[in-house]
Structure 1
Amino acid sequence: MKNFDVVVAGGGIAGTIAGIAAAKEGAKVLVIEPNGFLGGTLTASGVGPMMSFHAGNKQVIKGIADELIERLKKREKSPGHILNSTNSITPFDTEAMKYELETMLLESGGEVLYHTTLAGTDVSNNKIQSVKVLNKAGLSDIKAKVFIDATGDGDLSAWSGVPFTKGRENDGATQPMTLIMKYNNVNTEKLRKYIKENPDKFPLMREDISTIDNTPRLSVIGFEKEFNEAKQKGEVTIPREDVLFFETNNPGEVIINTTRILDHDGTDPWSLSKAEIEGRRQARELEAFFKKYVPGFEKAVFTQSGPSIGVRSSRQIEGEYTITAEDLLKERKFKDTIAHSGYPIDMHNPDGEGTTLIRLKQGHYYNLPYRALIPKNIENLLVPGRNLSATPEAQAAIRTTPTLAALGEAAGTAAAAAAKDDGNVRSVNTKKLQKELVKNGAYLDVCA
């Protein structure tokens, strides 16, 4: 049986950075990943850009995540952070993201096991003793002192007896899923010209339209009139009211975040399969819509849909503390704060059209406590992904990748500390944890 100090289930942004952080602290680390690459939604679902590292003009997420962006910038695979009214966006090249995450993990001393999924857990005395994994070699067991659940859906937690909730309290409905679309050969100059000449059609644009020519990469929300016209004609049946898309790092390349798949469960493989099928059906509608209605897309080529559908929410573990929307909006202080974020509550309507967007005051940010990563019932498990302990409204803010990266770094650092002792993550000294995070480049105002 293979034996490690820290085993991370899931090599998304939270899991990979958790693995890097733990390995940098001297832990023997393994990241288990079902795909043949790291990055999670950023690479396996095609999601982009990352947002947001900032609260207004102030960068509140740094550390390993920012080191990643600096490495991408040096290779001209990201323009870096671009400030806008959603604080900031950070475009990147998908293939470079895979490479840099993998390289950083290996350089830190961590290991990765690709093409491997969880298949069970061995729990006794309130501790996970080992996990069972499945891959081409069959079933095998892997032992660790501390485990990190970065599966996104809380698989490791649920299978280990951690209580959880799912979706809205009254009916369990979760946020809709989205299948990302990627386009090449978009005439972005023509698109920018159209937006400048028709600013009234883009009331929710994140950029100052009058200076749009100076914006390195566009994030576009609008075309509401055209979208509704297409819906009335039966050309589009997607339950949303406008389109949303972003320029990537690469010239003429655009990511479209507009499909909306309702009433599916990211933890049910039958439901998830149907959602993938519906996502591709909606993508075909959008392909025709963009060609007909959106300037600059006349000769654009739809090159790829996300290899996996993007799931915004599913299980939320019950932890030592449950983060609420009130905690975020009132900027509640915690003695065990291990990360900050300024991203707004961004709740996509589970019932159809509409998105609830609740912003903090410009430049303000909230605090995320270590206890929200500690699940009930299990002593040697941390949960830094979007399935941490939070209400649906709070999770709608915390779920974005820079925030999860910051939580991942905290979880990895804490896991390494716990592994040096008895593996109990509740025994970690949070003051020492905070100081170690800041020493390693993270931003925490509790240590400022």
Structure 2
Amino acid sequence: MNRLLLSLATAASCIGAASLAPAADVPATPNPGLRYYYPVPAANPAQTIQVDVCVYGGTPGGVAAATQAHRMGKKAAFAVFRRHVGGMTSGGLTAVDVGNARSIGGMGAEFLKSASTAKREAMNDVSGELGFRPSQAETIFRKMLSDANVPVYYEHRLKTVEKDGTRITALVFENGNRIEAKMFIDATYEGDLFARAGVKYFVGREDNSAYGETVNGFQLARTHQFRFAVDPYVKAGDPSSGLLPGITGGPLPAPGTGDKLVQAYNFRMWAVKAADGIAWPKPQGYNRGDFALLERYLTTDLNAEWKFTYGSGPVKLNIGDCNNAGPISTDFVGASNDWPDADYEAREKIFQQHVTYQQGMMWFLAHDEKLPEKVREFTKSFGLPKGEFAETNGWPHELYVREGRRMVSDYVMTQKNCDSREVVPDSVGLASYTMDSHHTSRVLVDGKVKAEGCIEIKVPHPYPVSYRSIVPRESECSNLLVSVCLSSTHVAYGSIRMEPVFMILGQSAATAAVQAIDAGVTVQKVDYTKLRERLVADHQVLEWTKEMQEAAEKNKKKK
């Protein structure tokens, strides 16, 4: 495959692109002559859809929000950027980061139960798979939507947001269609809706001093660091020869200094044994020089053992969901910084750069004769799946946007919430995963290269996410909720940003939207007591009790 024939996450300007079709009506294959998603074909004729609740963003949080609105008797429109629903969960991230499973309630638990069944079915087919299959995840999401009679509007890319005072009145899409609603939910990974609505946001890492944190801002990686000293210069030992690609020179900021760097993105490849799959493709634009630092790392210590696991690297490569593993891996460090605020054309270029980088890396690991033979042979023993991501020849259709914009509202979730020094009274769900950030840069330290930005710090136990963190300031927007890019610091978002939590927050956001409609109030004025009652009735888990903690500790001891 020379390049992805499709868009920012998958097929774009395809057959029926401007249609207002439900999930089952989307064509299975794109027009093979198309290469990029942009521009979008105009709707013919352009239509205006009027609903109670408009959800924008095809993530799991969007699926949950749209489904919940319909379950509560409201008419919802679910508009998604591309041709798929389920975001990263149907885009390759099937080894789901759950944190503490007891903290997952509502639709998050509903999905995981269905996925567990799918996983068992997959295990019966191929021994050793990690997680359910991406296509199985999308099937589950589509069924949730169809069972709730949710109309899905594919390839609807937000152009402008119309407002009357503090209220959004309509979303206008690039194809000419518009959706008018009483309430809106931003379920995108980037925060595209709230940004166009004039809501305040932040991109990057806050300074530690901004919110009294200790692990935000610039810092050398605590994990996934270089296993041994690696010379950073083009000509080993010669600073005058310049730095290898991917290393930032210059004086280092003080630890904890804020910046605009965004943690690295990658594709969550879904691998199979080579005999059952598609060989790693050599991308157009492949440049061996892009992997000079990786070559240096893999050949500095000829006795080093590479197990292709998190602790070893260079890539976590196995049957099923594969991920970044180490200081030089599938994460394209430094290439994500412009994504959050970029327009669609610029994002397409960044997307394709990630394709070229990661496909090129896998080709390099499998074929470059200067690498250890064991590395090459192990890489070649795997390949891309024939039965997944058919539109993109086995390559994931979704780029893992780990972090985009983050809203700044009246309450900002911080490290204090993650370590339970501050517990909010208005919970709309629990988060429990490690405070986790991938690398943001590689820097020069005492003549050696070091990875920077990665943190993996466990939280003591699940903690509540505030309702105030999923609604903007009332003076900015009074009928919008945000289920993914909520108000939080870089550190706190690293713990909250898990797909099941996005489902929890999406369900809670939709519940609040419906109650705001029924009560005739702004989202900021929703009666939390009534909201809590409905969330509990829908099996959301809103607090972590002493009894739950004791049960978790007891279960841990048994294991």
What TM-score bracket applies, with the shorter chain setting the length? 0.7 to 0.9
For residues 107-122 of structure 1, the aligned pairs below 5 Å read 107-122=147-162
The one-letter code of the counterpart of 1:414 is: A
Aligned to 2:94: 48
* CA pair 290-273 structure 1, distance change in 2 beyond 3 A: same
Aligned to 1:422: 520
SS in 1 for 2:515: helix
* Residue 436 of structure 1, aligned match among 528, 534, 537: 534
* CA pair 167-109 structure 1, distance change in 2 beyond 3 A: same
Aligned to 1:389: 487
The one-letter code of the counterpart of 2:331 is: R
TM-score under structure 1 length normalisation: 0.78
Q: Contact 1:331/1:366 (CA < 8 Å) preserved in 2? A: no
Q: CA deviation at 1:390?
A: 0.5
* Residue 183 of structure 2, aligned match among 146, 152, 158: 146
* Residue 156 of structure 1, aligned match among 193, 200, 225: 193
* CA pair 417-358 structure 1, distance change in 2 beyond 3 A: same
The one-letter code of the counterpart of 1:255 is: C
Aligned to 2:75: 28
* Residue 320 of structure 2, aligned match among 237, 247, 253: 253
* CA pair 75-178 structure 1, distance change in 2 beyond 3 A: closer
* CA pair 79-181 structure 1, distance change in 2 beyond 3 A: closer
Partners of 1:90 and 1:413 in 2: CA distance: 33
Partners of 1:186 and 1:322 in 2: CA distance: 47
For residues 303-382 of structure 1, the aligned pairs below 5 Å read 303=385, 304-330=394-420, 332-352=422-442, 353-354=451-452, 355-361=454-460, 364-376=461-473, 377-382=476-481
Aligned to 1:62: 105
* CA pair 293-228 structure 1, distance change in 2 beyond 3 A: farther
* Residue 73 of structure 1, aligned match among 99, 116, 134: 116
Partners of 1:227 and 1:27 in 2: CA distance: 58
Q: Contact 1:73/1:79 (CA < 8 Å) preserved in 2? A: no
* Residue 338 of structure 2, aligned match among 252, 265, 270: 265
Aligned to 2:58: 11
SS in 1 for 2:52: strand
Gaps of 5+ in 1: 81-88, 188-224, 234-239
Q: CA deviation at 1:246?
A: 6.7
Partners of 2:378 and 2:360 in 1: CA distance: 18
TM-score under structure 2 length normalisation: 0.63
2:314 matched to 1:229?
Answer: no
* CA pair 185-320 structure 1, distance change in 2 beyond 3 A: same
The one-letter code of the counterpart of 2:479 is: N
Aligned to 2:5: none
For residues 129-278 of structure 1, the aligned pairs below 5 Å read 129-135=169-175, 139-169=176-206, 170-185=258-273, 228-230=297-299, 242-245=313-316, 252-257=319-324, 258-261=329-332, 262-263=334-335, 264-266=337-339, 267-269=341-343, 271-278=346-353
Query: How many residues were matched structurally?
Result: 384
The one-letter code of the counterpart of 1:268 is: A
Q: CA deviation at 1:302?
A: 3.3
Q: CA deviation at 1:76?
A: 4.8
Identity %: 24
The higher radius of gyration belongs to 2
SS in 1 for 2:322: strand
Partners of 1:244 and 1:297 in 2: CA distance: 9
Query: What value does the CA root-mean-square deviation take over the aligned residues?
Result: 2.9
Q: CA deviation at 1:383?
A: 0.3
2:137 matched to 1:97?
Answer: yes
Q: CA deviation at 1:284?
A: 2.2
The one-letter code of the counterpart of 1:285 is: M
Gaps of 5+ in 2: 1-47, 124-128, 207-257, 276-293, 303-310, 368-372, 386-393, 443-450, 549-559
* CA pair 231-39 structure 1, distance change in 2 beyond 3 A: farther
Q: CA deviation at 1:185?
A: 1.0
The one-letter code of the counterpart of 2:60 is: I
Aligned to 1:236: none
Partners of 1:302 and 1:90 in 2: CA distance: 15
The one-letter code of the counterpart of 1:340 is: L
Q: CA deviation at 1:413?
A: 1.1
Partners of 2:525 and 2:395 in 1: CA distance: 44
